[in-house]
Structure 1
Amino acid sequence: MSEILERIWEYRQISRVELVELTGLTSGTITNLTHDLIQLGILRENEAISGNVGRRRVMLGFDPRFYRIIGLDIGRTSFEIIVMDLNGTILQSIEREMNGVQGPEAYFQVITPTLTTVKQEIEAAGEKILGLGVGIPGPIHYESGSLLAPPNFPGWKGYPLKQMLEQQFDLVTLIEDDARTSAMAERWYGLGKSVQNLVSITMGTGIGGGVVTNGKIVRGTNGLCGQVGHMTIVLDGKMCDCGNRGCWETVGSIPGILSRWSQGSTLMELQTAIRQGEPEALRCIDETLAYLEAALVNVQNLYDPELILLGGRLFPLLAEHLDQLKPRLQSRLYAFAKDRLRIEPATFGTSQSAVGAAALMLGFLLSEPVRLLSLQDS
């Protein structure tokens, strides 16, 4: 089933004859498996269309009518809940600011009633929830589904997030570092659909990265692969919450940038000052771009991606300056590789991690459909 689903996702609409050619499975096997998937509400037959030689054929695609996926992004200053169908269409999005709110108990006083309402509305409509995907600042202990010690996220150390959510909402639940969910949003729904090797970098209150190699998310031995925000950028720089000194996050995140500018306290004020040519603001953005340049050189040399995606709440400030950054970056890369690197804005803006949280469940469906569907009945 897995190979069939992955091919259908890749092509969006495909005939059984084409599936036989692409998978090497027999026509009988394809017929039986697709029949089962149609009966389960995963696939549907779309209107017959004429083939190249006039023969009519039936195209298979994902059925958007029955199953729903919920994505939950828990950030340092906000959370977002989205509902998607199996085609990746966002049906609902709810975002709440959480400035000044600290710790899981306080967060879930707001999240729980909101998520409960979303779940009840889906079920009242006669639809079935395939599962709940969650993005949250890591690192994460994946075996237990607990948070370890997320930098700049007080009160969450050791919190058994997966266990709590499964008990509270009775849904199949996957959790992942929010930078990796951002990468998964691109892998399944965005620019990464046609790219095998990419790095997604999310810049906001913190800085995180998600690495996709050969189409698969990479975690590393301790779940730290892609922690680009904790590369040393400033030798003997500020102490970071992670225990290192001079991390990119200490100088390149929103708090790190604003700490170097004394004329205001928000990104919007800084952006206005930059446009007005205020000297300290210009110095601040020049320093920020220099740190970003150094970080991207490191990312390119470490991971050798086809595509680097930049996103997060900080990105709108940086977006206006990327044209001047790209030539500087290319001058520091291997000559034979510099023209092949693409740097693009993330596809889904501030909803990137929430979309990627839903993508976790889509990836589960495509890779292990029998297991996921069996969990629906357990």
Structure 2
Amino acid sequence: MSEILKGIWRYQQVSRVELVDQIGLTSGTITNLTHELIQLGILRENEAISGNVGRRRVMLGFDPRFYRIIGLDIGRSSFEIVVMDLNGTILQSIERDMNGLQGPDAYFEVITPLVAGVKSDIEAAGYKILGLGAGVPGPIDYDSGTLLAPPNFPGWSNYPLQKMLEDQFGLVTLIDDDARTSAMAERWYGLGKNVNNLVSVTLGMGIGGGVVTEGKIVRGTNGLCGQVGHMTIVLDGKMCGCGNRGCWETVGSIPGILGRWSGGSTIEELQGAIKRREPEALRCLEDTLGFMEAALVNIQNLYDPELILLGGRLYPLLSDYLVQVKPRVQSRLYAFAKDRLRIEPSTFGNSQSAVGAAALLFGFLLAEPVRLLSLREK
């Protein structure tokens, strides 16, 4: 079943005959398995179309009519809930600003009734919930589903997030670092769908990265692969919450940038000062772009991706200046590789991590459909 679902995901719609050619199973096996997936509400037959020689074919695609996935992004200053169907369509989004609130208790006092309401509405409308995915600042102990010591995220150290969500909502629950969920949004639904090697970088209150190599997310020995915000950019720089000095996050995140500018306390104020061509604001911007340039060169040399995607709350401030950053990055790469790298904005804007959290369940469905549906029924 997994190979059938992956084939349909890759091409969006495909006929049974094409599946036989793609995955090497017999036509009888394909017919039986696709029939079962249709009965389960995962696939549906779409309107027949004419083939090249006039023969009409029935195309298979994911069925958006039965299942829903809930994605939750828990950020350092906000959170978002999305509801998606199996085609990756965002059906509902709820966002809340959490500035001034710290720790799980304060967050879940707001989050819990909203997720419970979304869950109730989905079920009342007759849909089944495939599961709940959550993206959160890492690092994470994946065996226990526990947050370890997220930098600049006070109160969340050693918090058993996965168990809490499972107990609270009774859904199959997956969690991951929010930068990795952002990468998964691209892998399953966005620009990374046809790219095997990519790095997704989220720029906001912190800086994170998700690395996809040969189509699979990479975590590393301690779950730290992709912590691009904690590469050293400034020798003997400021102490970072991770324990290192001079991390990109200390100078390139929203707090890091505002800490280098004396003219205000918000990114919007800085943006206004840049538009007014105030000298200090322009110097702050140029330094920020220089730090980004160095970080992107490091990312390319470390991971050798085909595609680097940039997103997060900070990206709108920097987006207009990518046209000057890209050639500067390319000029510092191996000559034979510099034109192969693409640097693009992320597909889903500020919803990137929440969409990716839902995508965790979609990836589970593609890899182990029988197991996921079995867990869901428990």
Which of the five TM-score ranges fits, normalised by the shorter chain?
over 0.9
CA distance in 2, matches of 1:346, 1:56: 38
2:243 counterpart residue number: 243
CA distance in 2, matches of 1:40, 1:225: 37
1:76 counterpart residue number: 76
**How far has the Cα of 1:275 moved from its partner?**
1.4
2:142 counterpart residue number: 142
1:275 counterpart residue number: 275
TM (normalized to structure 2)?
0.99
Query: How far does the alpha carbon of each residue in 1:11-51 deviate from its partner, in whole angstroms, 9 at most, with x for none?
Result: 11111111001110001100110010000000001111111
CA distance in 2, matches of 1:9, 1:2: 10
2:27 counterpart residue number: 27
**How far has the Cα of 1:269 moved from its partner?**
1.0
1:6 counterpart residue number: 6
Matches within 5 A, 1:1-378: 1-378=1-378
CA distance in 1, matches of 2:324, 2:46: 47
In structure 2, give the amino acid aligned to 1:62. Answer: F
**How far has the Cα of 1:331 moved from its partner?**
1.1
Query: How far does the alpha carbon of each residue in 1:228-262 deviate from its partner, in whole angstroms, 9 at most, with x for none?
Result: 00001111100000000000000000000001110
Please identify runs of 4+ aligned residues in structure 1 that moved more than 6 A. none
Count of equivalent residues: 378
**How far has the Cα of 1:208 moved from its partner?**
0.2
RMSD: 0.6
CA distance in 2, matches of 1:56, 1:364: 33
**How far has the Cα of 1:377 moved from its partner?**
1.6
Q: Which ranges in structure 1 are unaligned for 5 or more consecutive residues?
A: none
**How far has the Cα of 1:196 moved from its partner?**
0.5
Query: How far does the alpha carbon of each residue in 1:83-142 deviate from its partner, in whole angstroms, 9 at most, with x for none?
Result: 000011110000001001100011000000000000000000110000001000000000
CA distance in 1, matches of 2:30, 2:274: 59
SS of residue in 2 equivalent to 1:174: strand
In structure 2, give the amino acid aligned to 1:103. Answer: G
**How far has the Cα of 1:376 moved from its partner?**
1.5
Query: How far does the alpha carbon of each residue in 1:186-208 deviate from its partner, in whole angstroms, 9 at most, with x for none?
Result: 00111001110000000100000
CA distance in 1, matches of 2:119, 2:266: 36
**How far has the Cα of 1:212 moved from its partner?**
0.3
SS of residue in 2 equivalent to 1:320: helix
| Percentage identity across paired residues of the two chains | 81
In structure 2, give the amino acid aligned to 1:188. Answer: W
Q: Which ranges in structure 2 are unaligned for 5 or more consecutive residues?
A: none
In structure 2, give the amino acid aligned to 1:241. Answer: G
**How far has the Cα of 1:226 moved from its partner?**
0.2
In structure 1, give the amino acid aligned to 2:326. Answer: K
SS of residue in 1 equivalent to 2:99: coil
SS of residue in 2 equivalent to 1:45: strand
In structure 2, give the amino acid aligned to 1:328. Answer: R
**How far has the Cα of 1:179 moved from its partner?**
0.2
